[in-house]
Amino acid sequence: MLARIFSLVASLLVIAGIAGCRQIIVAEVLQQPLGKKIYLKQNIWYENPKKISCLNIQKGKILNFGTEVEPIKATDYKLSFKTKDGKQFTINYDYSLIMLPMEGYIKQIFTLKTRAELTKGIKPKYMKLLLAGKVKRGLTKEQVILGCGTPAACRTPSTLNSTWVYWITEDSVYRVVFRKDKVNVLVDINDELKKNKRSRRTKK
């Protein structure tokens, strides 16, 4: 009896393991035509290329939007790809932060459009900012996504919101506030918290 129970439990664990390792074909997700290349749709920050946060924490080096990439492997938890020079990168994916299946996330960061197509009509002075991952008043939502990526849904449930939240470290964030779909002001939430703490100490 016990042997049967252990056998059943082992089988369930194997099935769960297989389900958790679901293989996703990026080309199918993007409906990539034969001969068409894949590019980054947004800037991606990284310190360790093998452990990139799906929060796109803005520290370290930047892989720029428009960079040609080749997907290596995609599961529900990891997305690996390489650039033309052979460097490999892996994004650790957490559904609870992005709130999209991996297929949706793939569409957020990969595209079939070249950099020229992605930036058509953008002024040269804004191009430098976006490639550096910087945000400035007057940028549109589409341009902010190029430079900073789509904000994580755990703090920005919809890009229709007038306020987007981005991470600069694992524990620090800032807000991008829009007015009529253009950047109006940047708010460093961490500075606000520091000021509140100081004011509380002063009152005491």
Helix (H, G, I), strand (E, B) or coil at 6: helix
**157: Cβ–Cβ under 8 A, 6 or more apart, which residues?**
99
Residue 179 lies inside a defined structural domain of this protein: yes
The domain containing residue 148 runs over which residues? 24-192
Angle between the 141-148 and 124-131 helix axes, to the nearest 10 degrees?
A: 40
Distances (CA, A) of 18 to 13, 114, 121: 9, 36, 46
Residue 13 lies inside a defined structural domain of this protein: no
Residue 18 lies inside a defined structural domain of this protein: no
Residue 71 lies inside a defined structural domain of this protein: yes
* Predicted local confidence at residue 204, as pLDDT: 52
Record the pTM. 0.84
The percent of residues in the chain predicted with pLDDT above 70, rounded, is: 83
Number of domains the chain contains? 1
Task: Report residue 33's pLDDT band, with 50, 70 and 90 as the boundaries.
Answer: very high
Classify strands 52-53 and 68-74 as parallel, antiparallel or unpaired.
Answer: unpaired
Tokens of 65: 């939007």
Q: Rounded to 5 degrees, what angle do the CA atoms 131, 134, 136 make?
A: 120
Instruction: Quote the distance between the C-alpha of residue 119 and its chain's center.
Output: 19
Residue 12 lies inside a defined structural domain of this protein: no
Residue type, position 98, single letter = I
Q: Is the dihedral of CA 111, 114, 120, 126 positive or negative?
A: positive
Residue 180 lies inside a defined structural domain of this protein: yes
Residue 204 lies inside a defined structural domain of this protein: no
Q: Is the dihedral of CA 153, 155, 161, 162 positive or negative?
A: negative
Compute the distance between CA of residue 155 and CA of residue 48 in angstroms, rounded to an integer: 24
Task: Report residue 179's pLDDT band, with 50, 70 and 90 as the boundaries.
Answer: very high
- Report the range of poorest mean pLDDT among 70-74, 114-118, 195-199: 195-199
Nearest partner of 152 among 59, 66, 14, 55, judged by Cα: 55
Q: What is the DSSP string of 81-125?
A: EEETT--EEEEEP-HHHH-S-HHHHHHHHEESS-HHHHTTT--HH
Residue 203 lies inside a defined structural domain of this protein: no
What is the pLDDT averaged over residues 154-182? Answer: 96
pLDDT in tens, 93-142: 999 999 999 999 999 999 999 999 999 999 998 999 999 999 999 999 99
* Predicted local confidence at residue 117, as pLDDT: 98
**Contact (Cβ atoms closer than 8 angstroms) between residue 28 and residue 61:** no
